Every structure is written in C-alpha cells, then in structure tokens.
Amino acid sequence: GIGILKPFTDITEEEFDRMIAINQKGTFLVTQMAVKLLIENFANAKFNSETESYASIINLASQAGKLGAARLSHYSMTKAAVESFSKAIAKELGPYRRRCNAVLPYYIDTPMVNYSNLDQNLKNLIIGPTILKRVGRPDEVANMILFL
C-alpha cells in the first residue's frame, strides 16, 4: 500500500485516487483472483480432518485504519476498508474451509515511513504508544503473516 503524510486538507484528488486504487482496489482485485482459485480448487483438496485448512489469504491493513492517524486520515480510511473487506471475505470463504485474515501493523521501518528522516517530535509521537518504544521491522510483519 501507499500513504502520504499530509494534512487532510492538502491531499489532492489525484493523490487520493491513487491511494484508493492501490490500497483498496488493488487488494480487492488480487483477493478476488485468489478466492476464485481457492474455491475452484476446493473440490480437489484432500483434508485429514473436518477442521483442517491449508489455504489462507492475508491482506495488509494498518493500525491507522483501526485507530486513525493525524496527517494520515485518507490512508486510515483506505486501510479501515481493507480490514472490513477481509472480515467479509473470511465469511464468504468459511464454507470452503479457507481463511482470510488482515494484518494490522503499526509504523514499520520501511521506505514509505522513512522513520530515520522524521523530526524527533514526530518520532516521539509514533513510538509513544508502542510497548517496545520503537517502530516495527518488516521481518516482524513477515513472520506474523507466515504464522497465519
């Protein structure tokens, strides 16, 4: 996904449309393709028990979508949509013994966040509510997805 750190009033329509296209529409289209394949292959699946399932769709949402984030209201909106969408897809996939989860990381040290280049006041705001008093790492998110 993408995010643009700007006040709500400064986001252009083009920036907003791009964020919707990538964060929401992109998630929708990739999930739709995956669901079609999962349902198509369900009939051929070999299960060892009544509850066993080997397939899962993992979508990336964000804590910004859950909690809201100043100067990221537009991003927060798109990620809240991804979380809600993932819950709905999970309900549709249930009869096929397939899962859909959304992972909701907080700030992760990626080029999009560019944490090392932020001013100290913003860094303090970001890490303030965290238990570990630091931003997350990409490998931590990857390990969560692998676990699911």
The count of other CB atoms within 10 Å of the CB of residue 136 is: 19
The angle subtended at Cα 60 by Cα 54 and Cα 64, nearest 5°, is 145
The count of other CB atoms within 10 Å of the CB of residue 28 is: 15
Per-residue DSSP letter, 62? -
Of 75, 96, 106, 115, the catalytic one is 75
DSSP string of 55-75? -EEEEE--HHHHH--TT-HHH
Per the structure block, which two tokens stand in for 43?
Answer: 């009939």
The angle subtended at Cα 8 by Cα 6 and Cα 9, nearest 5°, is 105
Extract the runs of DSSP E, i.e. beta strands, from the chain. 56-60, 99-103
Active site residue 96: no
Return the active site residues: 75
